[in-house]
Chains A and B, each alone.
Chain A
Amino acid sequence: MLRYIGRRVLILIPTLAAISIVTFVVIQLPPGDYLTTLTAQRASQGDGVPTGEIARLTERYGLDKPVIVQYWQWISAILFHGDFGESFDYARPVSALLAERLPLTIALSLVTLVFIWAVSFPIGVYSAIRQYSVGDYTFTFFGYLGLAVPNFLIALVLMWVGLQFFDLNAGGILSPEYRDAPWSLAKLGDLAAHLWIPIVIWGTAGTAGNIRVLRANLLDELRKPYVVAARARGMPERKMTIMYPVRVAMNPFFSTIGWVLPGLIAADAITSKVLNLQTTGPLMLRALLAQDMYLAGAILLISAVLVVLGTLVSDIALGWLDPRVRLRY
Chain B
Amino acid sequence: MEEPLLRIEGLRTHFFTSEGVLKAVDGVDLSVPAGKTVCLVGESGCGKSVTARSILQLVDKPGRIVGGSIRWNGATELATLDPAGEELRRVRGGEIGMIFQEPMASLSPMYTVGAQLSQALRLHRDLTKQEAREEGVALLRKVGIPNAEQRYDTYPFQLSGGMCQRVMIAIALCCDPALLIADEPTTALDVTTQARILDLMMDLRAQNDMAILFITHDLGVVAEVADEVAVMYLGRIVEHGTVEQIFSDPRHPYTRALLRSIPELRGSGARRRLTAIRGMVPSLRQVPAGCSFHTRCDHAVEGLCEVTPPPLRKYGEAHVASCHLDEVPAAPAAPAAPVLQVTERVAAETAAEPLLRVEGLAKHYPIGGGLFRKPSGVVRAVDGVDLTILPGQTVGLVGESGCGKTTLGRCVARLADPTAGRILYRTEQGDEVDLATVTGARLKDFRRQIRVIFQDPFSSLNPRMTLQQIVGEPLRTHGIASGGELRDRVADMLTRVGLRPEYMQRYPHAFSGGQRQRVNIARALITGPRLVVADEPVSALDVSVRAQILNLLTDLQEELGLTYLFISHDLSVVEHISDRVTVMYLGKVVEDADTADLYRQPRHPYTEALMHAVPVPDPARRRERHAFEIADDLPDPAAPPPGCRFHTRCAHVRAELCRTDVPELREYGERRSAACHHAAGLTLAGVGSVAREPQVDGRMAGRDA
Contact = CB atoms under 8 A, between A and B. Distances in A.
Chain B, interface residues (CB within 8 Å), range: 35 or more
B109 interface: yes
Contact of A225 (B90, B100, B124): B100
A223 B58 CA distance: 12
B370 A7 contact: yes
A59 interface: no
Interface string B134-171: 00000000000000000000010110000000001001
B62 to A, nearest CB: 10
Contacts of B171: 229, 233
Chain A, interface residues (CB within 8 Å), range: 20 to 34
Interface string B94-114: 100110111001111111100
A232 B372 contact: no
Interface string A220-236: 00011110111111111
Interface in B60-103: 60, 84, 89-94, 97-98, 100-102
Given A235-B123, A237-B84, A230 B372 contact: no
Interface in A312-329: 322-324, 327-329
A223 B84 CA distance: 18
A328 B367 CA distance: 10
Contacts of A230: 108
B61 to A, nearest CB: 9
B213 to A, nearest CB: 13
A contact patch SS = helix
Contacts of A237: 84
A9 to B, nearest CB: 10
A33 to B, nearest CB: 36
Contact of A248 (B60, B93, B109, B119): B109
A229 B113 CA distance: 13
Interface in A222-278: 223-226, 228-237, 243-244, 247-248
Given A7-B370, A324-B157, A225 B110 contact: no
B442 interface: no
Given A224-B105, A323-B110, A234 B371 contact: no
Most buried by B among A11, A224, A323, A324: A323
B53 interface: yes
B373 interface: yes
B56 interface: yes
B172 interface: yes
Nearest to B57: A231
A327 B98 contact: no
Given A11-B371, A232-B58, A322 B172 contact: no
B372 A225 contact: no
B210 interface: no
A10 interface: yes
Contact of A228 (B58, B110, B120, B157): B58
Contacts of B92: 231-234
B109 A324 contact: yes
A231 B168 CA distance: 13
A230 B97 CA distance: 11
A225 B94 CA distance: 19
Contacts of A236: 84, 89
A7 B372 CA distance: 7
A7 B373 contact: yes
Contacts of A235: 89, 93, 119, 123
A324 B123 CA distance: 26
Contacts of A7: 370, 372-373
A324 B108 CA distance: 11
Contacts of A11: 371-372
A231 B53 CA distance: 11
A10 B89 CA distance: 50
Nearest to A227: B108
Given A225-B102, A228-B53, A234 B89 contact: yes
Interface string B437-449: 0000000000000
A248 B108 contact: yes
Interface string A286-329: 00000000000000000000000000000000000011100111
A324 B155 contact: yes
B110 A244 contact: yes
Given A228-B53, A233-B120, 16 more contacts: A225-B105, A226-B106, A226-B108, A228-B106, A229-B168, A230-B108, A231-B92, A232-B56, A234-B90, A234-B91, A234-B94, A234-B123, A236-B89, A248-B109, A248-B110, A329-B370
Interface of A: 7, 10-11, 223-226, 228-237, 243-244, 247-248, 322-324, 327-329
